[in-house]
A and B are shown apart, each in its own frame.
Chain A
Amino acid sequence: MDIQLLLEIAGLFLTLVVLLYLIFGDNALFRLVTYSFIGVAAGYVAILVIFQVLLPRLSILLVSQEPVLVLIGVVEIVLGLMLFLKLWQHTSFLGALPMAILVGVGAAVTIGGSVFGTLFGQINGTIGLFDLQKGGNPLLRLLEGIFVLVGTVSTLAYFQFTMRSKAALPEQDGNARRSPVIKVLAVIGQGFIGITLGAMFAGIYAAAITALVERIGFIFDFVSRFVQ
């Protein structure tokens, strides 16, 4: 029997079992398929890491004729072993150093990228909207810029929860309130946030319906091929 056919039969079976979740909810077959996927993925990842990450990288570093590379390789091996010892309680303290390195370097890279990549880039992009000489209808560009600016400021104002001491005095109902300007901007920001969330929901639904359509098409194509 053709392997491709077997794979398609297996795919059909798994697809139908997963679709049963829509009717019967959580059931044993659905959990079986889920566990199988997790197991296969974990096994594949393990093989991939061993044969494509550890062995190639370590071999390159250790057999290199450059002492620096050899030293780097040795350090990498030692740190990896120390991190591996974190599995046992008595030796877990040895894994603190490589964990600290990972966390510290990761945080630095992430923060640096967020600041220079996202924050500065978005600020620059918002400012650039008001460049009326860049191209297009200047009025439309200006309106677009104003719209984007108002949306950005109002969304940020919505998340503003600090107040001055005078404004923090409780009113008659005992609740502290923000300044009126912030209140107005927060209301506008709520609208922009709602629109964004709606767009995100629409994208998620579109992705889901696409997956469903693709699976229905797969079933239809297999059945039609099988019938023919």
Chain B
Amino acid sequence: MRLVPGDAQGEPEQPGGSSGEDWLSSLRQEPDADVSPGQEDALGQAGSEEFSESETPDWLSRIRERARMETGAQAGESGAEDETPDWMSGLDSEPETGGADEGAASSSWLVEMEAAGGQADEPGTAPQGAAVAPSDPVGEEWMDELSAWRAGAESEPAEAASPVPGDLPGWLDDGTVLGEDLDGNLQLAQEPPESPAEAGSEDLLAGFAVEGESTVVQQPVEPDLPAPAEETPEWLRDFSSQAPAENSGSVIPLIETAGLEGISDDIETGVGIAAGELPDWLSEEGSPPSSGQEVEAPGEPLSEELARAELPEWVKEMRPIESVLPGEAAAVEPSQQVEQAGPLAGLRGVLPIEDLKTHYRKPPVYSARLRLSEKQHSHASMLESIVAQEAQPLLIPRTRARAPQVFTRVLVTLFIFAVLTVVRIFPLGLVPGALLAPPELDDMFNQIEQVSEQNAPVLLAVDYEPGRFGEMYFASLPVIEHLMAKNVPIVVLSTVPTGPALAQRLLQEAADDLREKTDQTYDPAVQTLNLGYLPGGTISLLEFAQLPSRAAPATLEGNFDIWKQPFLANVKGLDGFSQVIVLTDSAETGRAWIEQVKPLMGTAPLLMVTSAQAAPLLMPYLQSQQVNGMVSGFLGGVTYGQWRHVDTPADPYWESYQVGVLLAVGVILFGGLFSLARVVIRRKDGEGE
């Protein structure tokens, strides 16, 4: 309840009569000129705001005058004094305070209001809780009906804003007793009001008072209500037309309270406490079922005005079975059930505990133990053992320290280096020269011995890397010197890019060594021809074997007329060469010459000077007669020189070479014996343990 403006201190707002006083205070207020007539307030303020100065009915004006008078009288007495009239103060007072005096005062006011009700214009609007007092006979009729309805109305909602008995003014209590039962629910006495006007006014006020407190009914606000001056409002007509009959069940009661013994049938039949507040659709509802009755199925239409939605077929199919089974009593909606026991007894819409007990039960307890098959169990145990192995600490093997390895390597290197240097500096003469010559060396010697200067030139293929120059120099120099001693023209070719340069150096040194030893002159610039580098690897060898002039058209110096020179004039193919001597340090290169060139050489022999590392892999070709002679490594060069009975550049290094090889043999033997002994000792220790 709001206080009337001007009440300075103001009474605390009473929950019981707050809404009634609001509308009443608003009625007392002068209308605001800016407020449009159409504006309404929700609860009780519409009356003062919607009436303009010209439309203010007489009864309302009298109310305002009285308010002014009361306000002026009270303001002179005390600023802090409550200006609320008696009947309103009765509303503000404690529940214990009696309302008899206020009831008398309010009664007189109501009488005046009712007397002037016929002169007042029908506002026409009847918002819920609006303080509209009909001033015409028609209005009196509806007020009478309202009061009559109210007399038979059920009790107020007993929720939080339930009106406390005693808070209502006395005039409102006249004829009606708001009592409480043991459950604290409001009850309406069955005693009808004494006078229609009074009853109507009481009904009106009570309705407004209750409405402000009740939170059950939420009625839509209609801004513009019809204002038939001489006609009962339609909504009220509906109420009146649907005067509740006993047990008609046309209106669903707002509240069903259990344990209320004094509730009349009218209450159960359920005309709303404030019939004006109920919308048409609610007012047209059938009487609510009693506690024993059942509510209609939810699927039934609530109002004729509401068009039933046309559900598609598939939605209809989804409808619960219970809703379509004929003859089966529909379950009472929880919202329609009235709680029978407990602290919520008498309330509607409480969730049924019994249903909850049946609907919700303790969930089944499932066993946490898995059901495993034997195979799954074996797999799981296997996986567990694998995982357990991961958790086990691994034995870190002892790592040997690196320092001893470095020391050993350095020691061995220095030892070998020292031995070779000493032997080179101080030759001991303990190691004799090569005495045995392998058969392939003999064959090569014989083949070269058969070549003369009148024969065709010899093709010399220099196909070794610069890193093997030392060994190949010692192995090939005697052979080249032998050729130069024969004055055989030599044509040099190379499939290695660095081969032409190596060949130049080899020929020059061989010529110089031959001149020093035998005083024989051999001019490499005249008697040798360097065809340079032959690109393409194996493919170029095949091309050269088929047509040498096309594969190697020019010399290393860029001379394109070499194939027209005398000693190459008769060379049309490889068979035009008297011999082919291949100097190589790689078994693959030697194999390429054997596979690609030898088949096209005809009767010309293929001779090879190889490194010691390639000789074992090229030996099968020697035994298959695909290679006609071979000199391999440092030993082969020294031996070839001994066969020619000439000194070779390799002779000073022969003793160092032999000592180095013997040293390697000794180290390998010693290392093998040492390892064997250690193994034997460890085994013995292991057996002893």
Contacts and interface: CB of A to CB of B under 8 A. Distances in A.
Interface in B507-558: 532-533, 535, 537-539, 542, 553-554, 556, 558
Interface stretch (B39-47, B385-393, B656-664): B656-664
A206 B533 contact: no
A124 B639 CA distance: 30
B471 A128 contact: no
Interface in B650-673: 652-653, 656-657, 660-661, 664
A116 B542 CA distance: 13
B308 interface: no
Interface in A114-166: 114, 116-118, 121-122, 124-126, 128-129, 148
A155 to B, nearest CB: 12
B595 A209 contact: no
Given A109-B542, A114-B595, A212-B660, A56 B554 contact: yes
Interface residues of A, number: 51
Nearest to A199: B616
Contact of A214 (B533, B537, B621, B653): B653
Given A113-B592, A121-B626, A215 B470 contact: yes
A213 B616 contact: no
Interface in A2-61: 19, 22-23, 25, 41, 44-45, 48-49, 51-53, 56-57, 60
B580 to A, nearest CB: 14
Contacts of B560: 56, 60
Interface string A73-89: 00000000000000000
Nearest to A116: B599
How many of chain B's residues touch chain A, expressed as a range? 35 or more
Contacts of A126: 624
Interface in B399-432: 406, 409-410, 413-414, 416-417, 420-421, 424-425
Contacts of A116: 595, 599
A124 B626 CA distance: 10
A217 interface: yes
A211 interface: yes
A110 interface: yes
Contact of B633 (A23, A110, A125, A206): A206
A128 B623 CA distance: 10
B424 A49 contact: no
B235 interface: no
B594 interface: yes
A93 interface: no
B613 A117 contact: no
Interface in A63-118: 105-106, 109-110, 113-114, 116-118
Nearest to A19: B417
A196 interface: yes
Contacts of A217: 424, 652-653, 656
B497 interface: yes
A109 B537 CA distance: 11
Interface string B615-636: 1110011011110000011110
B657 A210 contact: yes
B467 interface: yes
A152 B37 CA distance: 124
A204 B473 CA distance: 16
A203 B410 CA distance: 24
Contacts of A48: 497, 500, 532-533
A118 B587 CA distance: 13
Contacts of A22: 409-410, 413, 417
Q: Which of B417, B533, B611, B612 has the most CB of A within 10 A?
A: B612
A177 to B, nearest CB: 27
B591 interface: yes
A184 interface: no
A176 interface: no
Nearest to A53: B535
B171 interface: no
Contacts of B635: 206
Contact of A52 (B556, B585, B615, B621): B556
B598 interface: yes
Interface in A170-228: 196, 199-200, 202-207, 209-217, 220
A110 B620 CA distance: 19
A52 B533 contact: yes
B143 to A, nearest CB: 99
A121 B466 CA distance: 31
Contacts of B467: 211
A128 B624 contact: yes
Given A118-B595, A121-B621, A203 B613 contact: yes
A23 B413 contact: yes
Given A52-B533, A117-B595, A220-B421, 13 more contacts: A52-B554, A56-B560, A121-B621, A121-B626, A125-B626, A206-B613, A206-B661, A209-B657, A210-B471, A212-B420, A213-B657, A214-B471, A216-B420
20 contacts: A22-B413, A23-B414, A44-B498, A51-B558, A52-B556, A56-B558, A105-B539, A109-B538, A121-B621, A122-B624, A125-B620, A125-B625, A203-B614, A203-B615, A206-B613, A209-B660, A210-B471, A210-B634, A213-B634, A216-B656
| 9 nearest A-B residue pairs (beta carbon) | A125-B624, A117-B595, A113-B595, A214-B470, A206-B612, A203-B613, A22-B413, A203-B612, A209-B660
